A and B are shown apart, each in its own frame.
Chain A
Amino acid sequence: MHANICDYLLDAVQNSIEAGAASVKVDLQETEDMLEVTVHDNGCGMSPEALEAAKDPFTTSPGKHDHRKVGLGIPFMLQHAETTGGMCDITSVPQEGTTIRCTFPLDHVDTPPVGDVVSTWVSALNYPGPHEMEICRSLSTGEAHGCYRIVRSELSEAAGGLEDAGALALVHAYIASLEASLTQHNEEKRS
C-alpha cells in the first residue's frame, strides 16, 4: 500500500508515460469530503485481457521485470479505493489510451492522507520524455473555490527545462505558490 493518495497518482502518471503517451492529463479535485483523481493518456492502451491482468498483483507488463512476477501499482490503488468506500474505474482502448478515475472519501478512517501535492507535481513533471502533460488541480470546500492549471511544455519553456536542479528549484517555488494560493484563499474566506 502507498502511504498517501498522491503516491497512487504519481504511480498512475508513470504508467501513462511508460505506455508511450504523447499527452497525459491529470486531474485532482478535492472537496470537503471527497478526493477525485483522474489520469487520462493517449498511450498504447490495453486489451480487456491485459486490463484484467493489470489488476492482478502477480502480473507485470512484459519487458519490465522479466524474472519477476509482481506488479503492484494498480492492484494497490484498486484495493485502497474500495476498502475506503471509494471507487476506482479503469477504461482502456488499445492504441487509443487509458483513463483511470478513482475517488477517495476523505472522512473514511482508512483513507490515507492526500500527501504533498507540490512534490507530486514536481516529480510527475520531471519524469523525462517528450510528452505533454496537463495538470488541473481544484480545491472546493463549502467556503471557497480555487483551481490552477499547469501545462508541462509552457512550464518547461518558462523555467528553462525540467531537468536541471536550478530549473527544478524554480518549478518547485512556482508550484508551491499556486498551491499556497488555494489554501490562503480558503483561509481568507474562513476568517
Chain B
Amino acid sequence: MAKMTLEQLRALREEKTKELSRRDISDKQAYIVVGMGTCGIAAGAKDTLNAFIKELDTYNLTDVSVTQTGCMGLCYVEPTIEVTCTGMPTVIYGKVDPETAQAIVREHIVNKRLVNDHIFDRPAADIIGGGGR
C-alpha cells in the first residue's frame, strides 16, 4: 500500500459520501460505545473497537457511531460494549471479542436479533450509583 496523503484521504471521503447520498440514508442507525478502561484494554477492547469498524465497513453501515467510554464496572466480562439501535432495546454486551463484535453487527444491527449469550443488561450498580465514569 502506498503512503496516503491527507488530500487522498479527502478525495476518498468525497467518493464515499457520494455513494452514501445515492443510497439516501439520513439518521444514524445505531450507536456503539466500547468500554475502554484499563480492564477493557487488558481484555482486548481496542481489537474489539477495530473489529466493529471493519465489520460495519463490510456491511457498508457508515452511519453508525462508534465511540468509547471508561470502565462500565463489569470488569469480569470485558470487553464490554453498549449498543443503542432503532427498534431494539439498549443492551450492554460483555465478553465481546472480535468474533462477537461481528455477530453483534450481523445480528443486533442488521437482523435486529439479540445476541443472547453475551447480554449483561446494565453497568454495575456501584458505577451507576457512584456517578463513575
Contacts and interface: CB of A to CB of B under 8 A. Distances in A.
Interface of A: 1-3, 6-7, 10-11, 14, 18, 63-68, 71-73, 76, 116, 119-120, 122-123, 126-128, 148, 154-155, 158-160, 163-170, 172-174, 176-178, 180-181
A177 B133 CA distance: 34
A163 B34 CA distance: 12
Given A63-B133, A65-B130, A170-B12, A164 B44 contact: no
Given A67-B126, A119-B46, A170-B9, A165 B38 contact: no
Interface string B1-24: 111101101101100110010000
A170 B6 CA distance: 11
A122 B53 contact: yes
Among B20, B45, B57, the most chain A Cβ lie within 10 Å of the Cβ of: B57
Contacts of A120: 46
* Interface of chain A, main secondary structure: helix
B66 A3 contact: no
Contacts, number: 141
B40 to A, nearest CB: 10
5 contacts: A122-B50, A164-B66, A165-B57, A168-B53, A177-B4
Contacts of B42: 1-3, 7
A186 B24 CA distance: 44
Contacts of B62: 164-167, 169
Contacts of A127: 36, 68
A67 B130 contact: yes
Contact of A123 (B17, B50, B73, B132): B50
Given A159-B9, A167-B13, A169-B56, A11 B41 contact: yes
A65 B67 CA distance: 21
Contacts of B71: 64-65
Contact of A174 (B9, B54, B127): B9
A10 B45 CA distance: 11
A123 B37 CA distance: 12
Contacts of A164: 28, 62-66
Nearest to B125: A67
Interface string B69-111: 0110100000000000000000000000000000000000000
B61 interface: yes
Contacts of A123: 36, 45-46, 49-50, 68
A64 B38 CA distance: 12
